[in-house]
Amino acid sequence: MKLTHSFTAPAPAEEVWEALIDPERVAPCLPGATLTSVDGKTFSGEVKVKLGPVQLLYRGSGEFVEIDPVLRRAVMKAAGKDARGNGTASAVVTFVVGDSVEVETDLAITGRPAQLGRGLIAEVSGRLVDQFAECLASTLGSVDPDEVAQQQHLRVVPDEPIDLIDTAGVPVLKRVLPIAAAALAVVLFVVLRRRRQR
């Protein structure tokens, strides 16, 4: 599944570029993620995802496979697996920094999040990119670099999972409610039928 997004560069292009190729600087802006280690171009971490009452914890690693400072273009590969074996996720992310940041993601997921469907995943990812851009803008605009560096060190806001349904908002509810109502109707039908048979 290919997804494309863009957002206005929140600072001079060179500054944004330097931040985006530094996992420790951008990790705090990734919802639900925690960075656990960085070794050169490779890094590892985990992402907490909430899908209704179900919580998933993906653990994995990533690597910058291409970094072109002249074009300000980079390609990153990342993959993770749910700790309980409920699915996998992998992505190849390409971004180019200019007056805007162009992001292309080739995403592959299995398990429960995949049940959201392409349209919903595209919508959720779009909102997450917006959140990321806002966070990045506030980070780059910090007046206290030492404080920011201390906050960024191998961590992201975490302990708080990213809630996919909450992020998608009303469109998800419109799709989930009819299914839930139909399921409830089936359950009630079965219960009433059993009572009549007694």
What pLDDT digit, counting tens, does each position of 99-152 carry?
999 999 888 888 877 776 667 677 777 777 887 888 888 878 654 545 444 444
By the 8 A CB rule, do 58 and 71 touch? no
Residue 187 lies in a domain: no
By the 8 A CB rule, do 104 and 3 touch? yes
The amino acid sitting at 29 is: C
Residue 70 lies in a domain: yes
Ranges 63-67, 123-127, 171-175: which has the least confidence: 171-175
Residue 126 lies in a domain: yes
Containing H/E element for 122? helix 118-140
CATH number at residue 54: 3.30.530.20
Which of 68, 69, 49 shows the shortest CA–CA distance to 57?
Answer: 49
pTM of structure: 0.71
Residue 176 lies in a domain: no
Residue 66 lies in a domain: yes
Residue 16 lies in a domain: yes
Domain range spanning residue 80? 2-139
The amino acid sitting at 186 is: V
Residue 132 lies in a domain: yes
Containing H/E element for 120? helix 118-140
pLDDT given at position 102: 93
Residue 123 lies in a domain: yes
Confidence grade of residue 180 (pLDDT, cut at 50, 70, 90)? very low
Per the structure, how many domains does the chain have? 1
